[in-house]
Amino acid sequence: MKIAMVGSGYVGLVSGACFADFGHDVVCIDKDQSKIDRLHDGVMPIYEPGLAELVGSNVKAGRLSFTTSLAEGIKDASAIFIAVGTPSRRGDGHADLSFVYAVAKEVGEALANDAVVVTKSTVPVTTGDEVERILREAGAMDRHQVSVVSNPEFLREGAAIGDFKRPDRIVIGAEDDFGREVMREVYRPLFLNESPILFTSRRSAELIKYAANAFLATKITFINEMADLCEKVGANVQDVARGIGSDGRIGPKFLNAGPGYGGSCFPKDTLALLKTAEDYESPVRIVEAVVKTNDHRKRAMGRKVLDALGGMDAARGKKVAMLGVTFKPNTDDMRDSPAIAIAQTLVDAGVQVAAYDPEGMEQAKPLMPEVEMVDSPYTAIEGADAVAIVTEWDAFRALDLARVKELAKAPLMVDLRNIYKPEDVRAAGFEYSSVGRG
Ligand SMILES: NC(=O)c1ccc[n+]([C@@H]2O[C@H](COP(=O)([O-])OP(=O)(O)OC[C@H]3O[C@@H](n4cnc5c(N)ncnc54)[C@H](O)[C@@H]3O)[C@@H](O)[C@H]2O)c1
């Protein structure tokens, strides 16, 4: 089966490489010439564990190729996936659908065979209707049998390949048999793995993605507020999380207290859901509270570091070593990372910040221009008045605490990810503060 993937970013490239690995013939298309050039040279444009090997082996087997030409890439494809970005629209927080619609128009004009057009991008409910209208207007429906399907993607950066190949579920929103049949064929290898596949209407599929992300963002925000309460009453949020998470109705995942959610999805998707709810006059007040609470939390975590330094006045002129800048480990993605707001809060208070991250520093530089990026955690720690752990990379889980103490100006650690045991760090002679472990 031939598949075209329009947009070769975190989602498109991973999905394309995995489909090729299932045995399909896949062309990944992107308008970014430098991205396609790098892929032709075997260089990955993003960091994702296992991706270079997966792409390499499928290119070698002749099942995966890359192009900037959409017309060439979609030729003879039975399924054309749209996997371009849907960022927050500047000003109002709606999902910016201009990239999706531009692709729909180009596909509509270039289509030369029957095909299913699939939105894999996260798009607000009714976007599929508009994609269909654009395809019709471009004459695609007159020339060929075309079906527009919604197939939202649930992979997580950092674990994307495993998530794609062994998904909790596959959601397919289709309005006709042609759409359902082609999608069944696309995902046949996963049927054999017994991955559950859920057929719904197109609008339901579109909404499922936003509801899922809003629910997960709510879970994170809930435990973060419990962490604040734990600090006030002298309880331990990790015990509380274990206590509630072992209830099968709640579940243990997404109950790690920290500096607030970030990344390329939750912030923009929760915001877009609010806008959809507003447009349809159907309030989602819980999600509204989640968005507000999470925004507030990022700077609050910066203030937590300032407090550990003795307050705003005492902090001025001091140095903080920031360990981790990406929104989570195992990715280089900096979009909406809490580290940006935390660093800004520190810089605004006259604190000098030196940061290290295993993969995110290149992307971080333009977003955190006043932060010095250094080449190792220990370089960041040299002469620092506090060490702030912002992302839970494995590399920070077993720091040589004796060396940290020797290099730092003062033995003070603020662990915003709770990766250390308080008693261990204190036994090593540090003053230690963490999240929700009063
Ligand atoms: N990143 C994630 O973890 C994740 C997970 C699930 C869903 N999603 C959703 O998937 C979509 C894509 O996200 P991403 O993180 O892969 O974005 P990305 O920015 O990494 O990739 C998008 C790619 O599309 C390309 N593009 C834009 N317009 C194009 C056009 N007209 N023709 C060809 N290529 C074009 C861009 O050059 C870019 O390479 C978004 O809607 C996002 O919400 C993302």
Mean pLDDT confidence for 266-282: 97
Averaged confidence pLDDT in the chain: 97
Q: pLDDT tens for residues 8-25? A: 999 999 999 999 999 999
Burial of residue 257 (number of CB atoms within 10 Å: 0-12, 13-18, 19+): buried
How are beta strands 319-323 and 386-389 bridged, if at all? parallel
- CB count within 10 Å of CB 272 equals 25
In angstroms, what is the span from residue 12 Cα to ligand 1's centroid? 7
Amino acid identity of residue 352, one-letter, is: Q
Which residue lies with its CA nearest to atom 17 of ligand 1?
85
Whole-number pLDDT of residue 91: 83
Confidence category of residue 108, pLDDT binned at 50, 70, 90: very high
Ligand 1 atom with the shortest distance to the CA of 99: 28
Which residue lies with its CA nearest to atom 15 of ligand 1?
10
Whole-number pLDDT of residue 9: 97
The candidate with the shortest Cα–Cα distance to 409, out of 430, 433, 435, 434, is 430
Question: Quick one: tokens of 175?
Answer: 């309005």
Question: Quick one: tokens of 345?
Answer: 């809060």
Torsion of CA 54, 55, 59, 60, to 10 degrees: -40
In angstroms, what is the span from residue 417 Cα to ligand 1's centroid? 28
Percent of the chain whose pLDDT exceeds 70: 100
Structural domains of the chain ordered from first start: 2-200 (3.40.50.720), 210-291 (1.10.1040.10), 297-434 (3.40.50.720)
- Point out which residues pair with 387 in neighbouring strands: 321, 413
Whole-number pLDDT of residue 61: 98
Question: Quick one: tokens of 232?
Answer: 């006030």
Burial of residue 99 (number of CB atoms within 10 Å: 0-12, 13-18, 19+): middle
φ, ψ for residue 162, nearest 5 deg: -60, -45
In angstroms, what is the span from residue 345 Cα to ligand 1's centroid? 30
* Contact between 170 and 187 (Cβ < 8 Å): yes
CA distance linking residue 171 with residue 13, whole number of Å: 19
CA distance linking residue 7 with residue 32, whole number of Å: 9
Whole-number pLDDT of residue 237: 98
The residue behind tokens 């759409």 is 179
φ, ψ for residue 77, nearest 5 deg: -75, 135
The candidate with the shortest Cα–Cα distance to 130, out of 152, 98, 153, is 98
Ligand 1 atom with the shortest distance to the CA of 156: 3
Confidence category of residue 142, pLDDT binned at 50, 70, 90: very high
Mean pLDDT confidence for 59-74: 98
Q: Tell me which DSSP letter residue 437 carries.
A: B
CA distance linking residue 225 with residue 103, whole number of Å: 41
The candidate with the shortest Cα–Cα distance to 10, out of 40, 42, 35, 37, is 35
Could you list the beta-strand ranges (E) of 155-222. 170-173, 197-200
φ, ψ for residue 419, nearest 5 deg: -90, -10
Whole-number pLDDT of residue 438: 74
Q: pLDDT tens for residues 195-234? A: 899 999 999 999 999 999 999 999 999 999 999 999 999 9
* Contact between 374 and 354 (Cβ < 8 Å): yes
Whole-number pLDDT of residue 192: 78
Indicate which residues carry an active-site annotation: 265
* Contact between 318 and 283 (Cβ < 8 Å): no
Amino acid identity of residue 17, one-letter, is: A
Ligand 1 is surrounded, with C-beta below 6 A, by: 6-12, 29-32, 35, 83-86, 99, 102-103, 121-122, 153, 155, 157, 264-265
Judge whether residue 293 has pLDDT over 80.
yes
Amino acid identity of residue 174, one-letter, is: A
Mean pLDDT confidence for 255-270: 97
